Structures are given as structure tokens and as C-alpha cells.
A and B are shown apart, each in its own frame.
Chain A
Amino acid sequence: MSRRTEPIHPLYFAAAFGTGGLLSFMVLFNGTLAAYGSLFFASWVPHLTGTVAAMLFLLVLRPKRARVTRPPVWVYLGGVSGAITVMLTSATLNSGLALSGTIALGLAGQMMFSLFADLRGLFGLPQRTPVRRDYLALVLIIAGSLILIFLGSGS
């Protein structure tokens, strides 16, 4: 049971916040594709161009491998989970949930499973027990997000 006493490193903090900003651009780009083509196409294209881009990044950056031993096969299947996400959301988008309901419930599912994974140390990642201020931050950020999702757009 490790209880966090250190503040989040400013680099991690800024990187995580900036990564969320990238997501907005992905939504904008992929959403624009979906407006012209099928939802499959809107997911297929970024996976295709992403695979090419990642290959180029790997060739140029040549990152060091952390371990020589090969990891188990299941760790290569994260992409399947991501691809299924796209298919599920394309189904719920067209239901009564619409975009706002899809995003709101998705946030809930993401946070619940993230907390569970941290508490249990799932998939060989470090176990960590969220402290009270983590839960307070969760309430504030999710409440702010719900306000933006349900009340922020449209006048």
C-alpha cells in the first residue's frame, strides 16, 4: 500500500494536460472525416496514418528498449481495445444518448476502471491507493466536465 506524499512532477502534470489537448484535435480531425465518410473510415484512416507516423518516429528517434526479454503476447492487444471503443461509441452516438451522453458515460467508465486498476495494480502496472484529495479532484474535474458537456454548448 503506497500512499502518495509527493506532488505530481510538473513535467508529468504538464504532459498529461497537454495530452488531453491532443485529444481535442484528434476529435476534430477524426470527426471531420466521419462527416464525409463512414465511421469505420474515420477510425481506419488515423490508424493507417498513425502506423506510418509511428514507424517514422521509431526510425528517427530509435528509442531504447527497456527490457530484452519479450513481453507476453496480450500486451500487444491494446489496439483492439481502442478499436472496439470507436465501434461502441459510434453505436451510442446514434442512440438517445447522443454525443453528450456518450461522452459523459464514457468519462464515468474510464474513471471507475482507472481507479480500480490503480487500487489493484492491474496488468503489472504499479499499485497505488488514491488519497482523499485525488477523490476531491475527481469530483471537481468530472463536475466541471459534465457542466461543459451538458450546458456549455448552445445558448
Chain B
Amino acid sequence: MIWFAALAILAGVLVSLSRQINGRLALSTSAMESSFWNHLVGLVFITAVALLVGGLFAGEPTAAPWWAYFGGPVGVVFVAAGSWLIARIGAAQTALLIIAGQMISGVAIDILMGAPGNLWARTFGVGLILAGMWVVRGGRRA
């Protein structure tokens, strides 16, 4: 269990590391070019690992709805935006605001799709996140 916990933490570290490296590439090129290289290099890497391990087309992938294939273009904008932001507001604020956006939109999507959820926990959680966004937004030393 402790091993899996370490792996989960490492996954988060790698999210941040990836955004920093892409942000550095964007400084030399452009945010969109950095997103292009991120996807191309990632594609080559995943293809290589999948060929080694096997099972890339396991399951029933063709049965997936057509819209599920649009994660790529969304991801391109996501990586480009992250690369652009990190040089401007720093790694921590970029990560914090992205997490806030993900959490609040996640609640909105859950509610729209009728996913069951605890209203009080949702309200309290979203309230805390909004408060945090209000705090981080201001200037001057607190």
C-alpha cells in the first residue's frame, strides 16, 4: 500500500514536472509548439511501451462513442495553456487554479449528468475552493 501511495504521489510530481519542462520549451518556441512536441513524444513513448507490453487494442475500443475520441484536441489546448501560464504566474499558482477549475467543473458536470452526490459536501467543498481562489487572486503580502 505504501508503495502504491508513493507511486500516486510520484504521478502528481510528474504532472508538475511535465508542465515545467513544456513551459521551458514554450519559452524557446511557442506554447502550441511545446504542446505539439509533448503529444508527439508522448505518442512515440506510449506506442513503444504498448508494443513491448502488448494489449493496446484489448477490449472493445471500437464500441466507444465517437465523442470520446476528442480528448486529444482538448488536451492540446490544455498543455499549451499550462505551458503559457507557468512562465507567467509560476508553477504553484498555475497548479492551484487548474485544480480549482477541475474540481468545480467536475462538480458541475456531475450535477448535469445526474451523478449521485452529497449536496452539503459539494457546497462546502466548492465554497472552500472559491475562498482559496479569492485569497490567491489578491496582490500584496498577507
**With A50-B76, A78-B41, A125-B24 in contact, is A148–B125 under 8 Å at CB?**
yes
Chain B min CB distance to A115 (Å): 5
Tell me which residues across on chain A come within 8 A of B124, comparing CB atoms: 144, 147
Q: Is the CB of B37 within 8 A of A106?
A: no
**With A148-B125, A151-B121 in contact, is A38–B56 under 8 Å at CB?**
yes
A104-143 Cβ-contact flags toward B at 8 Å (1 or 0): 0111111111110110001111101011111011111111
Q: Is the CB of A20 within 8 A of B99?
A: yes
Q: Is the CB of A79 within 8 A of B41?
A: yes
Number of residue pairs A-B, CB distance < 8 angstroms = 468
- Give how many B residues have a beta carbon under 8 Å from the other chain's beta carbons: 123
Tell me which residues across on chain A come within 8 A of B50, comparing CB atoms: 40, 44
Q: Is the CB of A125 within 8 A of B87?
A: yes
Interface residues on A, range: 35 or more
**Cα–Cα distance between A61 and B30 once the two chains are bound (Å):** 11
**With A4-B139, A106-B12, A148-B122 in contact, is A114–B92 under 8 Å at CB?**
yes
Contact of A22 among B23, B34, B81 (CB under 8 A): B81
Q: Is the CB of A140 within 8 A of B117?
A: no
**With A49-B73, A91-B4 in contact, is A20–B53 under 8 Å at CB?**
no
Which residue on chain A has the smallest CB distance to residue B128?
A144
**Residue A23 interfacial (CB < 8 Å):** yes
Q: Is the CB of A152 within 8 A of B118?
A: yes
Chain B min CB distance to A152 (Å): 5
**Cα–Cα distance between A125 and B1 once the two chains are bound (Å):** 35
Tell me which residues across on chain B come within 8 A of A124, comparing CB atoms: 24, 27
**Cα–Cα distance between A35 and B60 once the two chains are bound (Å):** 9
Tell me which residues across on chain B come within 8 A of A20, comparing CB atoms: 97-105
Tell me which residues across on chain B come within 8 A of A115, comparing CB atoms: 91-92
A sample of 24 cross-chain residue pairs with beta-carbon separation below 8 angstroms, ordered by A number, consists of A15-B84, A22-B74, A30-B71, A33-B68, A37-B60, A38-B58, A38-B61, A40-B53, A54-B32, A57-B35, A75-B28, A77-B21, A78-B34, A91-B4, A92-B7, A109-B12, A110-B99, A130-B90, A138-B132, A141-B100, A145-B99, A145-B100, A151-B118, A155-B116
